[in-house]
Amino acid sequence: MKRAIINQLSQLSEQLKGYVAAMNYRYLNLCVKAEEASLLPVQVPIEGELKNLESVAYAGKRAEDEYSLYVIPKYQDDLHAIGKAVQDTHPEFIQLVETKVVDPGDGSQQEVKYLKLTVPEVNDDRYDVLKQGTDTFYNMCKADMERAKTEAEIQFVALGADEKPEDIDELKKAVDETNDMWIKQRESIHDKKLKEIEDAHNKWLTDQQATAQKKLEDDAAHNQDVGSSMRMTPDEE
């Protein structure tokens, strides 16, 4: 089989891989839980120049909190600019400025302000937005992959004009296997994202029901107390 055909097959695999990776990256920015990768697009204007967040701040998660990200500016003066940049990229994040006293190493005490970014619950509104975004990015990926396969097959026809029939059959099998491999990966990522959204929404529904039930019980207990007080007579007192 010609080297050009093998190269074309390798190029197709890389294209399909790239489209699946792009979909996965977009899914990481449809936040259900805190994802450090969701901060990668953040560009912070510092002294007239846009800088990546990682160059002006430290960001990460805490093991005990899967719904929040913590951003510590390298220079405290940049805190406001960082918050604004995050707001522009992820307006859904709930921002809170917190303060921690640290020892810079010289025995003194210094207050450091940082941002706590919390991903909101998946209520009905966020559920619809997340599902729509998930389907949109999936369809984009699917269309890109189908187009790449079609274009590659056109190239294979031209390159394989003088190839043996058995080599052409082997090529078709290789193309199908490559395509199926990345389709399987795409579907797995898509299904996992949908399940993540469904689980988070169901958790919100359960919490809402529990809150409503507790309110009913509290109201009933309050009404019972009021009723008992109203029935009391002076002698009973």
For residues 23 and 90, give the distance between their C-alpha atoms in angstroms, rounded to a whole number: 18
CATH topology assigned to domain 33-118:
Gyrase A; domain 2 (3.30.1360)
CATH of the domain spanning 3-27+124-221, picked from 1.10.132.20, 3.20.20.100, 1.10.240.10, 3.20.20.70:
1.10.132.20
Two tokens, residue 2: 């010609």
Asked whether the whole model's pTM tops 0.85, one would answer: no
For residues 20 and 14, give the distance between their C-alpha atoms in angstroms, rounded to a whole number: 10
Two tokens, residue 97: 């400025």
Other CB atoms closer than 10 Å to residue 13's CB: what's the count? Answer: 19
Tokens 């969701």 label which residue? 38
How many residues appear in the chain? Answer: 237
What would the DSSP string read from start to end of 117-186?
EEPPP--HHHHHHHHHHHHHHHHHHHHHHHHHHHHHHHHHHHHTTTS-HHHHHHHHHHHHHHHHHHHHHH
Q: What is the pLDDT of residue 203?
A: 94
Q: What is the pLDDT of residue 41?
A: 95
First to last CA, the chain: 102
> Which residues is 68 bridged to in the sheet?
118
Low-confidence residues in the chain, pLDDT < 50: 237
For residues 20 and 49, give the distance between their C-alpha atoms in angstroms, rounded to a whole number: 32
Contact 44, 81 (CB under 8 A): yes
**Does an H or E element contain 65, and which?**
strand 65-73
Q: What is the pLDDT of residue 233?
A: 52
Q: Which residues contact 210 (CB under 8 A, 6 or more apart)?
A: none
CA atoms lying within 13 Å on the CB side of residue 185: 18
Q: Where are the domains of the chain?
A: 3-27+124-221, 33-118
